[in-house]
């Protein structure tokens, strides 16, 4: 079962969920709204 993580588009600011497997290595990601590849994973806030 694919896990999901939160991502944010650094072009249009859209936040969304995408499948994410920490073991899978880098993936090509596309913003569902503006099609940009500047997609950054938002990491859980560590205290």
Partner 1 sequence: MMDVGRHPRIKLFVYSEVEDVSGYVGNFKVKVRKKARYVDENECNACAECAKICPVVVPDEFQMGFSSRKAIYIQLPQAVPSAYVLDMNACLGNNPIACGKCVEVCDKKCIDYDMQDQFIDLEVGAIIVASGMDVYDPTELDEFGYTRFDNVITSMEFERLICAGGPTTGHFIRLSDRETPKTIGFVQCVGSRSERRGNRYCSNICCMNTIKDTVLLKDHYPDIEVKVFYMDLRAFGKGFEDLLRRSRSEGVKYIRGIPGEIYEDSKTKNLILDVENTTTGEVEKHELDMLVLSVGVIPRQDGDLIQKLLTLSRTVDGFFMESHPKLKPVDAPTRGVFFAGCSESPKDVKDSVTQASASASRAGILLSSDRIKVEAITSVIDKDKCTSCGICYQACPFKAIVVDRKAKIPAEVIEAACAGCGTCGAECPFGAVTMKHFTDEQIFPQIDAILEENPQDKIVVFACNWCSYQGGDNAGMSRLQYPATGRIIRTMCSGRVDEQFILYAFSKGAPIVLVSGCHFADCHYIDANRWTQKRVEKLWDKLERKGIRPERLQLEWISAAEGQKFAKVMREIEEMRQKVTPEEIEHTKKVLSDWKPKGAKRRPKKAEVKIEA
Interface contacts to partner 1, rule CB under 8 A: 10-11, 25-28, 34-38, 40-41
Q: Which of 33, 37, 40, 41 binds Zn ion (CB under 5 A)?
A: 33
Q: Which of 6, 11, 16, 20 binds Zn ion (CB under 5 A)?
A: 11
Identify what 7 binds: partner 1, Zn ion, none; CB under 5 to 8 Å per kind. none
> Do 39 and 5 contact (CB within 8 A), yes or no?
no
Q: Whose Cβ is closer to partner 1: residue 12's or residue 17's?
A: 12
CA distance 45 to 20: 17
9, two tokens: 């588009």
């Amino acid at each position: 079962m694919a896990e999901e993580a939160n991502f944010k588009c650094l072009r249009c600011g859209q936040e969304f969920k995408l499948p994410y497997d920490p073991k899978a290595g880098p993936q090509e990601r596309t913003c569902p709204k503006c099609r940009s590849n500047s997609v950054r994973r938002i990491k859980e806030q560590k205290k």
